[in-house]
Amino acid sequence: TQLLEQSPQFLSIQEGENLTVYCNSSSVFSSLQWYRQEPGEGPVLLVTVVTGGEVKKLKRLTFQFGDARKDSSLHITAAQPGDTGLYLCAGAARLTQGGSEKLVFGKGTKLTVNP
């Protein structure tokens, strides 16, 4: 069974601070996606990383995929109240039928940025 562990589970910080969220597994994933979810809504895709060691930037958010494609991190610089939400990492895992993949999600990191 492929599992993704996210840490920390909860994070409460002040506006302007930096933070890093980690996503770790003992399994290799073909790609890894980061989502942000607001209460009562579906997850919204932030980024997909595919290549080991890949780094992608989205404004103040920096995403990194581990060299072995087993882990990833999300770093937010100068956090703002609008960054508040549940951050989920998800790895693409092979299904049994030819080439199909499902997403395996971590439990998420609930981020609160206080003004």
Partner 1 sequence: DAGVTQSPTHLIKTRGQQVTLRCSPISGHKSVSWYQQVLGQGPQFIFQYYEKEERGRGNFPDRFSARQFPNYSSELNVNALLLGDSALYLCASSLTTGGSYEQYFGPGTRLTVT
Interacting residue ranges for partner 1, rule: CB under 8 A: 4, 30-31, 33, 35, 40-45, 48, 50, 88, 90, 92, 95-97, 99-108
Alpha-carbon distance 84 to 115, whole Å? 11
| Least Å from the CB of residue 82 to partner 1 | 19
Task: Closer to partner 1 by CB, 27 or 80: give it.
Answer: 27
| Least Å from the CB of residue 79 to partner 1 | 22
Alpha-carbon distance 45 to 76, whole Å? 16
Task: Closer to partner 1 by CB, 18 or 47: give it.
Answer: 47
| Least Å from the CB of residue 95 to partner 1 | 3
DSSP string, 67-107: TTSSEEEEEESS--GGG-EEEEEEEEEE-SSTT-EEEEE--
